[in-house]
């Protein structure tokens, strides 16, 4: 453009979001911008809409190109600033409700991804029983812990790769996965694991509003659910996007799923340690001699 700025065109993959869902993302961003939260918002077309139809099922929008650098690490002062930024973002998120974006619940982040994996027959028989058993135990814990946690509009994919430092300071990008969910979903991916997490949590919460300690019981559960959700995402693109078999060459083989099953069990063990042992079964417990379970044992509407 004449002023030296640049415009980016964004095309939305068919079937990923519908028109109403995309517009709700844009409206959320506009709400944030109006309250002086540093975010990137799309330009409006002549009809005052931020979204236009390219051809059947394919929408597009225009955005300003923004610059910034992603952090390798976040120091205590950075975390306090981000705590304040997230507090403001969530305060605005509570002011209105999503009508069309998904809600982060056991169905959207657990049952539906598992059904996708089962229908595609991605999980090999050698791993299937253990993978499904531990996944369903994790979902049971999620249902228990989420009952008393408030849900509202959040970023939804708040990790360091979607965090930039630019002329206006820290700001988040890529609200594509914004949804209705618990505030802690926007925290845990910014934090380290282990002892460092506790210190970082204190720094980020020092800049935040009231936050109940019990809400952090969801952190490792959400991390485990992300394992499942991520595998389902790969499976949804693996046969239709030529770049996916190249990027994930082991996805269709036993090696990937043996590793995923082990990591999911280890994650469940970590959840057990943090919650005091409720609903725990040993990660080394062998069930190979028991009768093999079918899809129907886990999901009533599925058959092998």
**Pair type for strands 7-11 and 58-64:** antiparallel
**Pair type for strands 179-181 and 58-64:** unpaired
* Nearest one of 48, 37, 55, 30 to 168, comparing CA atoms: 37
Report the C-alpha gap between 254 and 138 in whole angstroms: 22
Helices within 96-124 (DSSP H only): 112-119
Report the C-alpha gap between 162 and 90 in whole angstroms: 17
Report the C-alpha gap between 183 and 148 in whole angstroms: 13
Question: Of the residues 140, 174, 176, 297, which is catalytic?
Answer: 174
**Helix (H, G, I), strand (E, B), or coil: what is residue 242?**
coil
Question: Of the residues 31, 157, 186, 217, which is catalytic?
Answer: 157
**Residue 246: HSE in the Cβ half-sphere, 13 Å Cα cutoff:** 4
Q: Tell me which DSSP letter residue 46 carries.
A: T
* Nearest one of 39, 137, 149, 134 to 104, comparing CA atoms: 149
Angle, CA of 134, 137 and 225, to the nearest 5° = 75
**157 part of the active site:** yes
Residues with a catalytic annotation lie at 157, 174
């Amino acid at each position: 453009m004449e002023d030296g700025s640049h415009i980016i065109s964004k095309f939305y993959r068919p079937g990923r979001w519908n028109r109403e869902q995309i517009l709700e993302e844009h409206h959320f961003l506009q709400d944030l911008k109006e309250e002086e939260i540093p975010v990137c918002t799309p330009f409006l077309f002549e009809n005052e809409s931020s979204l236009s139809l390219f051809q059947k099922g394919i929408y597009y929008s225009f955005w300003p190109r923004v610059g910034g650098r992603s952090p390798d690490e976040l120091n205590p002062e950075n975390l306090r600033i981000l705590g304040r930024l997230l507090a403001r973002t969530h305060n605005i998120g509570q002011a209105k409700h999503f009508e069309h974006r998904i809600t982060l619940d056991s169905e959207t982040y657990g049952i539906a991804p598992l059904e996708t994996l089962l229908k595609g027959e991605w999980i090999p028989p050698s791993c299937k029983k253990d993978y499904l058993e531990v996944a369903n135990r994790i979902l049971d814990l999620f249902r228990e812990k989420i009952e008393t946690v408030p849900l509202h509009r959040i970023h939804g994919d708040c990790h360091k790769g979607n965090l930039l430092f630019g002329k206006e300071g820290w700001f988040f990008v890529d609200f594509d996965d914004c949804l209705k969910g618990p505030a802690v979903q926007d925290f845990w991916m910014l934090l380290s694991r282990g002892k460092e997490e506790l210190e970082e949590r204190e720094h980020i919460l020092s800049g935040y509003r009231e936050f109940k300690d019990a809400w952090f019981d969801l952190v490792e559960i959400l991390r485990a659910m992300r394992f499942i959700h991520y595998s389902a995402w790969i499976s949804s693109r693996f046969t239709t996007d030529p770049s996916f078999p190249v990027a994930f060459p082991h996805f269709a083989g036993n090696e990937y799923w043996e590793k995923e099953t082990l990591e999911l069990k280890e994650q469940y063990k970590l959840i057990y340690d943090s919650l005091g042992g409720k609903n725990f079964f040993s990660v080394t417990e062998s069930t190979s001699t028991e009768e093999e379970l079918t899809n129907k044992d886990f999901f009533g509407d599925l058959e092998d």
